[in-house]
Amino acid sequence: MTCKEAIEYIYSFRKMQKSSSHERIEKLLSLFGAPHKKLKFIHVAGTNGKGSFSGAMSSVLTHAGYRTGLFTSPYVISFGERIQIDGKYIDDDSLCGITAEIREKTEALPEEMKPTVFEFITVLAFIYYEREGCDIVVLEAGIGGEHDSTNVIPSSVASVIMSVSLDHTEMLGDTVEKIAEEKSGIIRAGGITVSYPADSEERFFKGQNESALEVIRDRAEKEGSAFYCPDIKELSVLKSGISGTEFTYKHLRLRTALQGDHQVANMITVAECALALKEKGERITDEDIEKGIAAFTVPCRMETVSEKPLIILDGGHNEGCMLALRAMAEKHLKGKKITVLMASMRDKDYRKSIEIILPLCENAVFTRTDEIRGESPGVLAECGRQHCKNVFFCDEVQEAYKKALSLTGEKDALLCCGSFYLVSDIRKIIFTD
């Protein structure tokens, strides 16, 4: 089995199947000796910020000397991004070998017990982390929390709930409180619970919804889990620009290369979690926290890939992400004419995303990256014309990128956003040319 064949096999399973139990994944894991019961986890849920928190937290733990697994999604450049140890993607032999082992077991299962794509990848990751002797795994939930496949784990040293907002409402609930309840289902007794910070006055960033915070705090208390939430009174921003932010939090002096005020919120959540774990006896130093956060970077999350013209890639695809992108643009792109290149999946609230970002833009170009799930560029453009004067659309991504570049002067800015599929394709175009 080649890597291409392994990945094609994994994606041949059902994409999603709502379930109120973990019966399918429990059964499959039991066939491999229940590796998830032999590992130590930091479990991360939330609508936005999960990926940034998880990556930075794993960087801190690696700097502290832990052999650290990282399970995250979606991937931007290669499938191996989803399953990492100490910043290194799963190797081809392990990916192909473990996939072949799981294939052998799944083919003997009745159809109703066969895993979904996400369940398959989760099982693959648990097997890999256990065999590779990980000390701890930073485990990012997929959709939801309580009913997410990752919540098959029996315990965690920390349960982290990042920013909660409306997304996947058909599965998680139609209010922030209902979604927060679902996300809080990962909280376990005996560990700690850490929430994304609140900032009711929005002095630095849009903080955790107050109702969501109350749900998370109540669930932690019910489960007997010590509750922590970063205190923004202990945050001081020293320097902020297109290349990142320098700030202090409590006694720590921190720097993140990630753009956007929301990334400051993500990073102080990392710091809060690390300090709480240190307090509980984990061997983490202040220097590990500072160096781990500074070293962490992530592609396609407000990533600057060119300076002349300024080209920024951001794969965020919901209201919270678009508000963060808008806040960054308002703060750091003053005086620049902005062109936006955008695509969206049909099941996302692209109307809200367009409404948020297009009023800042001189030009807008729409395209599509997925013929089946992607919304028509013409439909997106029709919606875009309500918020921007100069609107264009192209069916092909490369053609759309060329059009957007032609509208962007050397001193101007091009924002590519709305879909990780789009920004991944654009990134490949830029770094291949």
Domain end, chosen from 276, 295, 314, is at 295
Same domain for 9 and 31, yes or no, is yes
Same domain for 170 and 245, yes or no, is yes
Same domain for 231 and 376, yes or no, is no
Closest C-alpha to 361, from 404, 400, 324, 399:
404
Closest C-alpha to 131, from 94, 81, 82:
94
Same domain for 137 and 242, yes or no, is yes
pLDDT at 234: 94
Contact 158, 194 (CB under 8 A): yes
The angle at the Cα of 145, spanning 142 to 147, to the nearest 5 degrees, equals 95
pLDDT at 260: 80
Same domain for 361 and 386, yes or no, is yes
pLDDT in tens, 57-113: 999 999 999 999 999 987 877 899 999 999 999 999 999 999 999 999 999 899 889
Structural domain harbouring 310: 301-432
pLDDT in tens, 138-196: 999 988 788 899 999 999 999 999 988 765 545 565 688 888 999 999 999 989 999 99
The angle at the Cα of 252, spanning 250 to 257, to the nearest 5 degrees, equals 120
Closest C-alpha to 363, from 405, 391, 394:
391
Same domain for 193 and 52, yes or no, is yes
The angle at the Cα of 113, spanning 120 to 28, to the nearest 5 degrees, equals 50
Domain end, chosen from 295, 325, 348, is at 295
Q: Which residues are CB-neighbours of 88 under 8 A, at least 6 positions away?
A: none
**Domain count for the chain:** 2
pLDDT at 169: 47
Q: What's the whole-model pTM score? A: 0.84
Closest C-alpha to 411, from 335, 323, 312, 308:
308
Residue 148: CB atoms within 10 Å: 22
Coil vs helix vs strand at 204 = coil
Q: How much of the chain is helix, strand and coil, in % rounded to 5?
A: 45, 20, 35
Low-confidence stretches of the chain (pLDDT beneath 50): 169
Same domain for 257 and 368, yes or no, is no
Question: In whole angstroms, what is the distance from residue 311 CA to residue 328 CA?
Answer: 13
pLDDT at 287: 98
Tokens 């080209």 correspond to 311
How far is the CA of 392 from the CAs of 292, 317, 340, 388, 389, in angstroms? 42, 20, 10, 10, 10
Closest C-alpha to 425, from 303, 297, 313, 310:
313
pLDDT at 301: 82
